């Protein structure tokens, strides 16, 4: 086990039951243009 990157809307759901996990949640929003 080691560091990983989870990309997508479900990342917080995937890690919901993990104790002792340091997580950084980053949401980027931009116009479609």
Range of the domain at 25: 1-33
Q: Residue holding tokens 């002792």?
A: 20
Q: Please tell me the pTM assigned to this model.
A: 0.42
Residue 1 above 80 pLDDT? no
pLDDT of residue 31: 93
Q: Give the number of domains in the chain.
A: 1
pLDDT of residue 26: 83
Q: What are the distances in angstroms from CA 13 to CA 3, 7, 21, 31, 32? A: 17, 12, 13, 25, 26
Q: Residue 14 and residue 33: Cα distance in Å, rounded?
A: 30
The model's pLDDT over 3-33, given as tens digits with 9 standing for 90+, comes to 888 888 787 788 788 778 788 888 888 998 8
């Amino acid at each position: 086990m080691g560091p990983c990157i989870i990309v997508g809307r479900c990342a917080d759901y995937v890690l919901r039951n993990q104790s002792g996990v340091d997580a950084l949640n980053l949401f980027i929003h931009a116009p479609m243009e």
